[in-house]
Structure 1
Amino acid sequence: MKSLMTLCFVLTGLFLKAQPVAGYQVGDIAKDFSLKNVDGKTVSLSDFKTAKGFIVIFTCNTCPVANAYEQRIIELNTKYSKLDYPVIAVNPNDPGVQPGDSFEKMQERATEKGYAFPYLLDPDHLVTKRFGATKTPHVFILQKTSAGNRVSYIGAIDNDTEGTNTGRTNYVEEAVNALATGQKPATSTTKAVGCAIKWKKS
């Protein structure tokens, strides 16, 4: 973990001033949102009529930690979209600060890696701040209920940032598996580990 985090600091500007972000807590109802997908179309959670919930992941092109998790994010969507818990990826970074996270670069990345899930740009950080995301990657699992999309888990994908821990704890998988069987996740919050979000310069 240390080597990736050091690289993240050096290459992607963890030194940038952090923005105050409060955001959702477990149990809150998340508002719907509309953001532009890499295919040019606007995507909202309400578009997914048969979804039972969502794995909302704030991620990006440029963070070494997000890159280390990229294949695992692809695999999460492959596995859990079948259970009606699709991945919704959101790039929170400002391309003026991090050019590698421009919309065009997002399109290139999604095509190159064959993303089968939405990859959305949040140009003004409105959705990012509403959720309270601070890192890439940062996960919010939503469960669709009669009251709305309830936040059921917030934090990391697992405890294996480097991808080398054979005994990893898969927080997101365990949480979705519990929700899919009508139970509450045993672990509902963990610490997100990754690169700081690149906010617009004020």
Structure 2
Amino acid sequence: MATETPVCNFGWPAPDFSLTGTDGQTHTLTDIAGPNGTLVMFICNHCPFVLAVLDRIIRDARDLQDLGVGVVAICSNDATSHPADSFENMQKMAVEKGFPFPYLHDADQTVARAFDAACTPDFFGFNADLKLQYRGRLDASRNTTGPADLRRDLYEAMKLVAETGQGPSDQIPSMGCSIKWKPET
């Protein structure tokens, strides 16, 4: 079932985290933060919404890194119910796709809960002070890849954040598969 992200809560401070990446290293928010902003993305391996735009996510991540924006992707899905999202499969995808950013495993889902992540993909764009400025979509694609000439909403918003510290006032929510939460015990 498709889920949309909530409206951007401008100025909300980025929660800190410390997670293991597919590279075997531990990464923190401080490690990831760029001098002109930080993009935290919740993605996964199986979601058709992520898979439809994964090459565009990689392209935009590279372009944003060139603007001094730190970029990280986090998978928080329950790998028991969704084995495609296991750490081993995350490692395979990161290598196969040549991710230019760390891909982190949120096995206990505490980071997704701290961010109030809603779906995959879910994009959190922070300014240099780690205050939220963007919570919108990548582009107008949904669970299939849209035309190549779609406006790059995420890139344009984060470029603005990198240049001015402020995100656009008009943002269109991201849509994707809901986070696959572990059963409550």
Which structure ranks higher in relative contact order (CA pairs < 8 Å, sequence separation ≥ 6)? 2
Partner of 2:18: 34
Partner of 2:160: 178
Partner of 2:96: 112
Offset at residue 167 of structure 1 (A): 5.2
Which residues of 2 match residues 130-169 of structure 1 at below 5 A?
A: 130-145=114-129, 149-161=130-142, 162-165=144-147, 168-169=150-151
Would you say the 8 A contact 1:26–1:188 is kept in 2? no
Runs (5+) with no aligned partner, structure 2: none
Deviations 1:164-191 (A, max 9, x none): 3355232211211212221522245422
Which residues of 2 match residues 2-13 of structure 1 at below 5 A?
A: 9=1
1:175 counterpart letter in structure 2 = A
Partner of 2:40: 56
Provide the rounded CA distance (Å) in 1 between the counterparts of 2:92 and 2:126.
28
2:107 counterpart letter in structure 1 = P
Would you say the 8 A contact 2:53–2:141 is kept in 1? no
**Residue of structure 2 aligned with 1:77, choices 61, 65, 78:** 61
The structure number with the bigger radius of gyration is 1
* Identical amino acids, percent of aligned pairs: 34
Offset at residue 48 of structure 1 (A): 4.0
Provide the rounded CA distance (Å) in 2 between the counterparts of 1:188 and 1:126.
29
Seen in structure 2, the aligned counterparts of structure 1 residues 35 and 53 have a Cα distance that, compared at 3 Å, is same
Give the aligned CA root-mean-square deviation in angstroms.
Answer: 2.3
Offset at residue 70 of structure 1 (A): 0.6
How many pairs align? 182
Would you say the 8 A contact 2:34–2:70 is kept in 1? no
167-176 or 62-71, which deviates more: 167-176
Q: Which runs of 4+ in 1 moved over 6 A?
A: none
Runs (5+) with no aligned partner, structure 1: 1-8
TM-score of the aligned structures, taking structure 1 as reference length = 0.82
